[in-house]
Amino acid sequence: MKVETETECCTIISEDIKDAIVIEASPGMGLIGNILGWLMVEELNMREIGYIESKYFPPLAVLYKGVAIHPFRIYEGDGIVLFLSDFIVPPAVVYDMTKAIVDWMIKNNSTELITFNSLIVKEKQHLVAAAGNNREIVKKLDEMGLTIVPFGNINGISGTLLTRCATQEIPASCLFAEVLNHYPDPRAAAEIIEKINKILDKEIDPEPLLKEAQEIESRLKKLAENVQVPESPIYR
């Protein structure tokens, strides 16, 4: 049965899944959320149960094994509901869309929300940082060995979801990967998997991400070797 949750600018068309943990995975710096979302779909054999649509979304479809699918889909499996986007959500849509997601969670008695973001660093220390929307969940994250972010801003859909969930007394957390730039970083995403496995009590294998990271790093190394660096001009 499909159920619609509608706001001014977007509509969630989805099955109802009760008492689940909700994970929001949309791309940002390093594409961390998107990379993790796709891995979870594959590793947990999640099934698609719906999608979000909006006239403000970019005009595109996503190809998956040759089939065109919605660019913002909803999956479920083993007590988890995953909201997975393949594009950066336009800022003008975030307010209404996060309201629709939290309304869907309230209707389905969702127990918790987890979202992803990135921290831009000059040098990686291979830490996974975290923040929560109440003191209890921050304590839980700290006990799991995550580095708590004491100050700063959480931009985009992640931050808005945390505060919206707080107003509804839904525990929510954001996990941050360290990235050096905006390029896809599957190795950084893989570092979050260990923590996600603890939180969800799962055994998601990070090996596909590590393999992908090695392939990307190998291609970049070959590219660097093939680039001819021009000699600096000499001025007299």
Segment 20-43 shows an average pLDDT of 92
**CATH node for 3-226:** 3.40.50.10900
**pLDDT tens digits along 92-120:** 899 999 999 999 999 999 999 999 999 88
Instruction: Provide Rg for the chain, Cα atoms.
Output: 19
Q: Are 86 and 37 in contact (CB under 8 A)?
A: no
Q: What percent of the chain has pLDDT over 90?
A: 56
Question: CA–CA separation, 77 vs 137, rounded Å?
Answer: 23
Can you give the pLDDT at residue 181? 83
The structural domains of the chain, with segments of one domain joined by +, span 3-226
Say if residues 171 and 136 touch (Cβ distance below 8 Å): yes
pLDDT at 1 over 70: no
Res 226: pLDDT: 57
More confident residue, 183 or 37: 37
The answer, yes or no, to whether residue 225 has pLDDT greater than 70, is no
Q: 156-171 in b/e burial notation, b at 16+ Cβ within 10 A? A: bbbbbbbebbeeeebb
Give the pLDDT band (50/70/90) at residue 233.
Answer: very low
Q: Which amino acid is at 218?
A: S
Q: Tens digit of pLDDT for each residue in 182-218?
A: 888 888 888 999 899 999 999 998 888 878 766 765 6
